[in-house]
Structures are given as C-alpha cells and as structure tokens.
Amino acid sequence: MKHKVYEFEKGGHSVFCLNYHFVQCIKYRRNALVNLTLIDELKQKTHSLAESYNINIDAMETDKNHIHILLSCKPTTDITKFINNWKSSTAKYLKNKYPELKKILWGDKFWSPSYCLITTGQVTLDSVKKYVENQGE
C-alpha cells in the first residue's frame, strides 16, 4: 500500500501541513442522512463553505447518522469558526430544502452540539514524542 507523503505548504514565515479528521453526528443520532440527493447537496455545501475559508476537503463520507470529513488548512484558519458556520448553514439549508427531516428530528436541531476534531499524521504520537525527547542527545 502506498502512503501519502506530507505535502508542505508555505506561509510568509512558516512551513506547515495541518490535517484534521472532523466527525459530526446528527442530533440524537437520528438517521437523517439516507437520501442520496440530500447527501450530495450536503457535500456540495461543505466544499463551497470550505473554499470560502481556504480549507481543502481531502475526503468526505456520510453514514446514516454522521459525517466524516478529512480536511487541511493553514495555521491562520479559525477551524472552530468554520465548524460552527458549517453546522448552522448546512442545518438551515437542509431543513428548509427537505421539510420531511422534521419528522425524523426532535425539535429544531439538526446537528449534535458536540463534535470530534482530531489532528492527523503519518507517524504515531509515540514516535513523535521519542523524536522530540532525543533532540538533546
């Protein structure tokens, strides 16, 4: 299996490679992501909003009650602002376009208030720790 090589970007005074795995669940884990057209529109909206934040979507897929997004961005990107804007704009759009979602969801919420955001890398945390600890030798 061929591994993806780090692709560094350059800023004015930095070199970076920031990748995140973002997971967002539907409120109460309801199975709201089953309509293929809805899923396609969610993905399109995600790409469009990410572009406005200068974020690259490297991979994205849904399950019935959550979405996984692999993204990369610059150190100056306000990732929390992007996520909050993404949650509100996609929820509003999908609830307006697909009123049948109200039968599946309880109340006015679409996404769960909590999310999972994980940094990614090609080496284990133990390997990086060992590398850093051995720099003084």
Predicted local confidence at residue 137, as pLDDT: 65
Predicted local confidence at residue 123, as pLDDT: 72
101: closest CA among 25, 35, 23?
Answer: 35
The 3-state DSSP class for residue 103 equals helix
The domain locations on the chain are: 9-136
Predicted local confidence at residue 8, as pLDDT: 82
Predicted local confidence at residue 47, as pLDDT: 98
Predicted local confidence at residue 7, as pLDDT: 77
What token pair was written down for 86? 């993404």
Architecture of domain 9-136: 2-Layer Sandwich (3.30)
Predicted local confidence at residue 136, as pLDDT: 64
- Return per-residue pLDDT of the chain as tens, 137 residues: 555 567 788 888 899 889 999 999 999 999 999 999 999 999 999 999 999 999 999 999 999 999 999 999 999 999 999 999 999 999 999 999 999 999 999 888 999 999 999 998 777 778 777 877 887 66
Helix axes 79-97, 36-52, angle to 10 degrees: 150
Predicted local confidence at residue 3, as pLDDT: 54
Predicted local confidence at residue 108, as pLDDT: 82
pTM here is: 0.87
